[in-house]
Amino acid sequence: MGEFYGEQHRQWQEQFDGVAMADRVRDLIVLPSIPEEHAAFIGSRDFFFLSTIDHRGFPTCSHKGGQPGFVKILDDTTLAFPSLDGNSMYLSMGNLSLNPKIGMLFIDFETPHRIRVHGTASITPDDPLLAEYQEAELVVRVKIEEIFINCPRYIHKHQRVQASPYVPQPGCVTPTPQWKRLDAVQDVLQPKDLAKVASMGGTISPEQYGELVMKGNA
């Protein structure tokens, strides 16, 4: 691991008399590999938040969801997760291709509990793990540099209601998202999606899509 704190962190730590505590917390929680308890927690998650940096220097935060265990622990310093069908923007995948340094936040809103990961990501188009992820377009491997827990005191408790029906599941046909029915995207949809839109009852207006979103049906 490199130096965990920079001058910009030290300035604030010094201003609030927190240098000694910051160093103690770092020494207690920041690890270079995944301990068993962190591995079990990560393996139980069905979502995480991914941070990447774009070509302009802007940080991008993205929600990544899947079945529990969709983030695989390959060894004590390597994670892997799939990139599923999205909106063709490929913001996260493009960002990490340019700057492979990423952050990952795994969080449980019911317990509550959270773990943060700093690592270096890589993508290989023909990654053999693709066969293990239903409908995945790419697989991202992350070499962990730092992993650590965070105090959960400001995490509001929320209860999980249901899993997203759009997450690929064995033996099930994954439904087409409603936004692909929007009039404004029909001329750029892939042929396979045009046929699906027709089977869903045709196109919809932005106003109709907004109504579906408000009702939780998008």
Looking at the fold, whether 43 and 132 belong to one and the same domain comes out as yes
Condensed to tens digits (0 to 9), the pLDDT of residues 49-103 reads 999 999 999 999 999 999 999 999 999 999 999 999 989 999 999 999 999 999 9
77 within domain boundaries: yes
Looking at the fold, whether 206 and 133 belong to one and the same domain comes out as no
In the chain, the number of structural domains is 2
Average pLDDT over residues 150-164: 93
d(CA 35, CA 56): 35
Looking at the fold, whether 182 and 84 belong to one and the same domain comes out as no
Domain boundary among the residues 110, 129, 149 is at 149
145 within domain boundaries: yes
Q: What Rg value do the Cα atoms of the chain yield, rounded?
A: 20
Is residue 33 pLDDT above 70, yes or no? Answer: yes
Looking at the fold, whether 75 and 140 belong to one and the same domain comes out as yes
Q: What band does 1 get if pLDDT is binned at 50, 70 and 90?
A: low
Looking at the fold, whether 104 and 185 belong to one and the same domain comes out as no
In sequence order, which ranges of 54-205 are alpha helices (DSSP H)? 91-98, 191-199
Identify the domain containing residue 198 by its residue range.
Answer: 178-214
Cα 104 to Cα 69, 79, 117, 121, 157: the distances in Å are 15, 11, 5, 11, 20
Looking at the fold, whether 143 and 49 belong to one and the same domain comes out as yes
Condensed to tens digits (0 to 9), the pLDDT of residues 40-52 reads 999 999 999 999 9
